[in-house]
Amino acid sequence: MRTCLVWGVLLSIGWLMLGSWQTVTIPEKLSDYGFFKDKLADQQPADGVVPYALNTPLFSDYAEKLRFVKLPAGQSVAYNDTAILDFPVGTTLIKTFYYPNDFRNPDKGRRLIETRLLIHQSEGWKALDYVWNEDQTDALLEVAGDTKTVSYIDANGQFQQHPFVIPNLNQCKGCHNRAEVMTPIGPSVRQLNGDLTYGDKRPENQLRHWQRTGILTGLPALEKCPKTPVWNKPETGSINDRARAWLDINCAHCHNPKGPAMTSGLNLNYSEKDPTAFGIQKTPVAAGRGSGGRTYDIVPGKPDESILIYRLESTDPGEMMPELGRKTVHRESLVLLKEWIKAMK
Amino acid sequence: MKLYLLSLLACLCTQLAWAQPTVQKRYQTQLIMADNGSTIDLDAGTFTFTGSLSLQDKKRIVIRGKGIDKTILSFKGQTDGAEGLRVSNAEDIVIENLTVQDSKGDGIKTMNVKGITFRNVKVEWTGAPKAENGGYGLYPVQCDNVVIDGCTAIGASDAGIYVGQSRGIVVKNSKAYHNVAGIEIENSRNADVFDNEAYENTGGILVFDLPDLVQKQGGNVRVFNNYVHDNNFPNFAPAGNIVASVSDGTGLMILAANNVEVFNNRFIHNQTLGTAIISYLLTERPITDKAYYPFATGISIHDNVYERNAGPVSQRGRYNKLFSQVLKPGQDVPHIIYDGIADPNTLDKDGKLQADKRICIRNNKNQSFVNLDAGRGFQHVSFNTTPFDCQLEPIKTSVSNNR
């Protein structure tokens, strides 16, 4: 009996050491977290869960996203105007992917696909993915990823049907990676600096709302805060600014000096100033057939001779960029990027 | 007690979604769940995957199949991910006894791994070699202590065995054929490439240094005891890639690399050239990278064997057109070619290279040589080896990984 107990204790310790997400404490269902009140699929945030939006978000095959952040009770995040906000341990970022049945009319309902969580634990950020069931009553933990077929009427009234890839846990880090450390991508001051409607109230600037509700400290006057332009709203920035903002959120999570695509020497950070580093007349390194037979990443004035455009136009997994999370072409952003390159001298 | 264990197992199983028993999910889950120090045994058979398999953030993992052509991971029809198998941010990883086939992008990519061994691994694209094949077969990049032993790479549209931006490299006992480049060492330091066979590629072995990359200035590369033959395959690389400009019929090409010692190799039946030493300037591509050094320096080519059939060189490829301008009609292109472009800052007042930067060519069987003098518009093309008859200090590589 004694041996049995010793073994039991040893096994338990070994089990806990497997890594915290592997322990039995990981909730199997999204509903176990209590992030939402009432019907889970309505995604009505519970107290302390704050919705947010980004000015220029990542394109994910036209999926719409609901984003929420939950800080540990009584804690806050400090303002900084350059990097992703440094959320305290205990913070969870919540992102639900869905497709409206008809993009022209939200009243026709929607289909939730998956809810991704980034949880800030003492040993770092952890990614978890919950896939919604057919009945849309709950979402279940998925480790190894999956592929679903989605269908919807798009904004032009066209019926669309395509596969949607739910990443495995390793693939989460394919994007959420700074110097091999799991890191959030979106919530920076410049991305949050814009209005959002909270409940039934009038729209309010997100930074001001965060400050007012006590989760953001050190906010200077709003006009001093940087602001990422909205990629498809010309009134928010020049073509150059909007194109660079789009590349920043869609590409720079890998294409930055500490990201997985650092080996390419192509850096698509918003702040990159060296023209070769962000692609102008830059030769490819390991593009393989992703070069599309073109010589440079960006040929000024010639979008159709630029590798960057070729890779965004492709849906072949051996050629396309980004490597993951895309089965369709983002036609609208291509228009912007082509205009951007065309205007270059 | 038993009940306790059983319930633990039950929890584990529900969590891992065993309920979906496809091989892809099973192996991917194993790779995600693997404890440090464990071995992932793959079954014999051919398994088809629609997406990449990946391993990351682990130490001392062995991924082991039942043998080349016994465990085949096929990515034919892959719809998701840009490589077959990917390993990143890891330490002491061994991949052995398996075949990876027909991935959409690269075959096996390992990035940011300290200690990576590929042993008895084949990466191939089946069917006739074509531009649509993936770029690299074995692709360690930004890794330390790389061992590639007993491996085979076939059909890559860039390089079959490619080591890039890495440090401490052994490539041995391996074969590469029907690739654009057989074996390529790029922007990497301290590499030994020996006892390999590179044949029927466009170029057999390449040692390159390219601009605009994170790791600059590779070098300290030894290429010895290799059999590099019949590399006359028409170039099928997609345009834009630097290897697309390699002429078919190339045995070994050293581009802008420093401290390379090439000895005891057999360069046989590479119809255009046995060995080329060229500067990046010859590519006529713009250089904006201020930290990049475009010259090949400290190159020693000795005790190799050169042979090829009589007859004209391939007329394909940009460099071949060049030969027609500098050679008399009917004159064979020499086995060893140096473009003659030297760094003006390293020349002494007599116009000679500093001792340790020299190009030394000595004691090769069937040695023949041309200095193209490309830096001065090919005005003084010279076939005289005397200025290059010298011996550099043998290169000592500091490769420690001999697993």
Give the closest residue to A209 by CA, choosing from A66, A30, A69, A65. Answer: A69
Average pLDDT of chain B is 89
Structure tokens at A201: 């109230």
Beta carbons of B212 and A285 less than 8 Å apart = yes
Cβ-in-10-Å burial (0-12, 13-18, 19+) of A252 comes to: buried
Question: What average pLDDT score do residues B252-265 get?
Answer: 97
Distances (CA, A) of A148 to A84, A111, A162: 31, 12, 8
d(CA A92, CA B249): 58
Give me the interface pTM, i.e. the ipTM: 0.79
Question: What average pLDDT score do residues B42-47 get?
Answer: 95
Beta carbons of A286 and B158 less than 8 Å apart = yes
User: Are B198 and B204 spatial neighbours (Cβ–Cβ below 8 Å)?
Assistant: yes
Give the closest residue to B128 by CA, choosing from B102, B107, B99, B100. Answer: B102
Question: What average pLDDT score do residues B288-315 get?
Answer: 90
Choose the closest CB to A143 out of B17, B142, B214.
B17
Give the closest residue to B136 by CA, choosing from B183, B95, B93, B89. Answer: B183
> How does residue B399 score in pLDDT terms, banded at 50, 70 and 90?
low
Q: What was the pLDDT predicted at A227?
A: 96
Give the closest residue to B251 by CA, choosing from B325, B196, B296, B174. Answer: B196
- pLDDT of B16 strictly over 80: no
Give the closest residue to A291 by CA, choosing from B389, B342, B244, B51. Answer: B244
Structure tokens at A47: 């107290």
Rounded to 5°, angle at Cα B329 from B326 and B330: 115
User: Are B78 and B103 spatial neighbours (Cβ–Cβ below 8 Å)?
Assistant: yes
Q: How many Cβ atoms sit within 10 Å of the Cβ of residue B105? A: 29
Least confident of B75-79, B113-117, B140-144, B213-217: B213-217
For residue B390, the one-letter residue type is C
Spell out which residues of chain B touch residue A295, defining contact as CB-CB under 8 Å.
239-240
> What pTM does this model have?
0.86
Choose the closest CB to A295 out of B15, B213, B239.
B239
Three-class SS state of A116: strand
Which single residue is written with the structure tokens 């010859």? Answer: B282
Residues of chain A short of pLDDT 50, as ranges, are 1, 4-6, 8-24
Residues in chain B: 403
User: Are A324 and A174 spatial neighbours (Cβ–Cβ below 8 Å)?
Assistant: yes
DSSP A235-280: GGS-HHHHHHHHHHHHHTTTSSTTSGGGGGT----TT---TTTTTB
Q: What was the pLDDT predicted at B8?
A: 46
Give the closest residue to B230 by CA, choosing from B254, B264, B202, B263. Answer: B202
Q: What was the pLDDT predicted at B13?
A: 40
- pLDDT tens-digit profile of B318-362? 666 677 777 777 777 899 999 999 998 888 877 788 888 999 999
User: Are A128 and A119 spatial neighbours (Cβ–Cβ below 8 Å)?
Assistant: yes
User: Are A127 and A117 spatial neighbours (Cβ–Cβ below 8 Å)?
Assistant: yes
Give the closest residue to B206 by CA, choosing from B156, B253, B261. Answer: B253
d(CA A291, CA A312): 11
The DSSP code for B333 is P
The DSSP code for A302 is -
- pLDDT of B28 strictly over 80: yes
- pLDDT of B188 strictly over 80: yes
Interface of B with A in 283-312 (CB under 8 A): 285-286, 288-289
- pLDDT of B172 strictly over 60: yes
Least confident of A336-340, B128-132, B371-375: B371-375
d(CA A308, CA A294): 10
Least confident of B3-7, B31-35, B64-68: B3-7
d(CA B402, CA B169): 10
The DSSP code for B103 is -
Structure tokens at B48: 């088809």
- Check if A281 contacts B (Cβ < 8 Å): yes
Spell out which residues of chain B touch residue A144, defining contact as CB-CB under 8 Å.
16-17, 20, 24-25, 28-29, 32
Spell out which residues of chain A touch residue B5, defining contact as CB-CB under 8 Å.
11
Q: What was the pLDDT predicted at B19?
A: 31
Q: Can you name the residues that pair with B254 across neighbouring β-strands?
A: B207, B277
* Cβ-proximal residues to A140 (8 Å cutoff; 6+ apart), any chain: A28, A29, A30, A130, A131, A133
- Check if A221 contacts B (Cβ < 8 Å): no
Spell out which residues of chain B touch residue A307, defining contact as CB-CB under 8 Å.
240
Choose the closest CB to A168 out of B28, B210, B214.
B28
* Helix/strand number for chain A, H first, E second: 7, 16
Spell out which residues of chain A touch residue B56, defining contact as CB-CB under 8 Å.
170, 173
Beta carbons of B104 and A318 less than 8 Å apart = yes
Q: What was the pLDDT predicted at A22?
A: 46
